[in-house]
Chains A and B, each alone.
Chain A
Amino acid sequence: MDHLVELLLELGLLTVGLGVLGAIAGRFSISAIPLYLLAGLAFGEGGIYELHSSAEFIEIGAEIGVILLLFVLGLEYSPPELMSTMRTSWKSAIVDVVSNAGPGVAVALLMGWGPVAAMVLGGVTYVSSSGIIAKMLSDLNWLGNRETPTVLAILVAEDLIMALYLPILTTVLAGVAFSQAAWGLGFAALAISVAFIIASRGGQWLGHWLDSPSDEVLLLKVLGIILVVSGLAEQIHVSAAVGAFFVGMALSGEVSQTTERVVEPLKYLFAAFFFVNFGLQTDPSQLPPVLLIAFALAIVSMATKFGTGWWAAKQSKLGFSAKLRAGLVLLPRGEFSIVIAGLAVSAGVVPELAPLAAAYVLIMAAAGPLLVRLADPIAKRRIKRLRAARRQARQDSAVV
């Protein structure tokens, strides 16, 4: 077959397949991320059919995908929101880090994979998927609930911590030495301050420059800036994705909303490629040996995340049903975990990391949205029981 024909057919069929998978995910109200990963596993090395011509394109697409994914995540919150959230909920943030990075770190150390792998796996189990969770809150009509601000505060804190963690991780991975971490930390602090200054002071100027007569012009300008900053970030061994994350943080206000609207379709396409590519890089035959660890890790980190949500809601003096929902809604891990694992894989840390992360995210991204549906029935049953008990008590006292 002609190379171009094969490329177009492979890409076309893959993309249509992803569309169908997305529809299936929507039908069962789970996240599409695990299905994209499975698609990647099926078409990679050791899968049912190996992509020939399009593999290279998908790999580049995946790079752009992770850049856009993190850029949009950075857009989500404005610096004032980040700061005020950290002021009010730093306690939950600390509880969150300690209890949820713990299982990942412990497993990596127990397996004897060393401190760098522990740092990676800790990140994978720590960070909840703000994408999946925001969608769940909206789909379940939970945005009005009293615990939602508490849940969102945890997600905001996680994003801010990611902004610190990712540059440090990438420098450690690049140098594979902890002496490098200081440089990463310095860079992170610098980048966050620059992003904050631009967002609060230069927003006007940046907005003015980006204020374009058409979406076309805006898209080209924004995408250009993101790619340039990402390239520079990659050059100084802070990954491209992290650079894009900071560009997203620096944009705020009116500009960030129009930008998000324009960039979103591109993000959908390339982020799907990113998840597929992660699956492509993973050999399915490596999955069975790590499945048991992945399950154990999933169960433990579900428990710790549930505890975190419960504790945070309790701090906000909320009732039983709100605590239950806050605990369950935080469970899914998704895009960030795959980003972290992807960074580690390309840096060539322990080979087991990729299949373990893939299996873990498969479980968490699929189970989270399903488990969350338990919240309402449990809460309703409890209220019924309490009412019955109250009635019983009234009858008893009436008899006496």
Chain B
Amino acid sequence: MDVERTELPGIGVRFEMETKRGVRMGVVAHREGRRDLVVYDPDDPDTTLECIVLDSDEASSIGELLGGARIVEKLNRLHHEIDNLVSRKLTVAGNSPYAGKTLGDTKARTRTGASVVAVIHDDVVSTQPAPTTVLNPGDRLVTIGTDESVNAVDRILHGSK
């Protein structure tokens, strides 16, 4: 959705947009927090047909309702995916064949389907580890996947496979 921004000197900012169904609408954001929700006249795009004045509390409540619906949807979707997912911290033991090797060397994802989403080294968490990340003894790998696949990664790290 394209949002057009216009400065209103001394008042605030105006945002204009058009919905897919062709309704032109806008929001006037006043400096002091007031928000005007504006709907334009379909016959005359220069003219306001309807203007709803909201104070800052009302505006944020409505914003939560509008945005909230999407958040609930997203959560539901995630929930379905999460239902049979587990996340565990797997420790790289000192005798692990991969101690001193890189994360890419384990080929954990290709072999098991589980993802290593972070590496904890000396209590420092680095998210999104690259295949080139070196694994040191004592590092913990935050791994997400099905119970099955995470266990498989654990076995790989222990060199029992």
> CB within 8 Å of B: which of A188-211?
none
A262 to B: closest C-beta gap in Å: 13
A155 within 8 A of B: yes
- A143-B51, A144-B40 known; A318 and B10 CB under 8 Å? no
- When distances are taken between beta carbons in the complex, the residues of chain B under 8 Å from A257 are 31-32
Residues of B near A85 (CB, < 8 A) are 9
Interface size on B, residues (CB 8 A): 22
User: What separation, in Å, do the CA atoms of A321 and B9 have in the docked complex?
Assistant: 22
Return the contact of B46 from the options A77, A152, A155, A319 (Cβ within 8 A): A319
1/0 contact string of A71-84 vs chain B (CB within 8 Å): 00000110001101
Within 8 A of A (CB), among B120-161: none
Are A144 and B36 also in contact (CB < 8 A) when A321-B47, A322-B46 are? Answer: yes
Are A149's CB and B8's CB within 8 A? yes
B10 pairs with A379, CB closer than 8 A = no
Provided the pairs A146-B46, A321-B44 are in contact, do residues A152 and B28 lie with their beta carbons within 8 angstroms? no
Q: Is A329 an interface residue (CB 8 A)?
A: no
Closest beta carbon of chain A to B37's beta carbon, Å:
9
Contact (Cβ within 8 A) A379 B9: no
Mask: chain B, 1-28; 1 = CB below 8 Å from A; 0 = not: 0000011111100100000000000101
Q: Inside 8 A of A153's CB, which chain B residues have their CB?
A: 9
The DSSP consensus for interface residues of chain A is helix
Complex interface: chain B residues within 8 A of A149 (CB): 6-8, 14
Interchain CB contact under 8 A, B10 and A155? yes
Point out the residues of chain B lying under 8 angstroms from A148, CB to CB: 8, 14
B48 interface hit (Cβ, 8 Å): yes
Q: Does A142 contact B (CB under 8 A)?
A: yes
Q: Is the CB of A156 within 8 A of B46?
A: no
Q: In the bound complex, do residue B9 and residue A152 qualify as a contact, i.e. CB atoms below 8 Å apart?
A: yes
- Let me know if B116 is at the binding interface, CB within 8 A: no
Question: Could you say which of A76, A134, A144 has the most chain B C-beta atoms within 10 Å of its C-beta?
Answer: A144
| Residues of A361-400 whose CB lies within 8 A of B | 379, 383
A85 to B7, CA, bound (A): 10
Residue A335 lies at the interface, judged by CB distance under 8 Å to chain B: no
**Which of B23-57 touch A at CB < 8 Å?**
26, 28, 31-32, 36, 38, 40, 43-48, 51, 53
Residues of B within 8 A of A143 (CB): 8, 11, 14, 28, 36, 38, 48, 51
Please name the residue on chain B nearest to A147 by beta carbon. B46
* Residues of chain B with a CB closer than 8 A to A82's CB: 9
Q: Which residues of B contact A179 (CB under 8 A)?
A: none
What is the CA–CA distance of A366 and B158 in the complex, to the nearest angstrom? 88
A383: which B residues are within 8 A, CB to CB?
Answer: 43-44
Asked if A230 is at the interface of the complex by the 8 Å CB criterion, the answer is: no
Residue of A nearest to B12 (CB): A143
- Can you name 10 A-B pairs with beta carbons within 8 Å? A76-B10, A84-B7, A144-B40, A146-B45, A148-B8, A148-B14, A152-B10, A155-B9, A318-B46, A379-B44
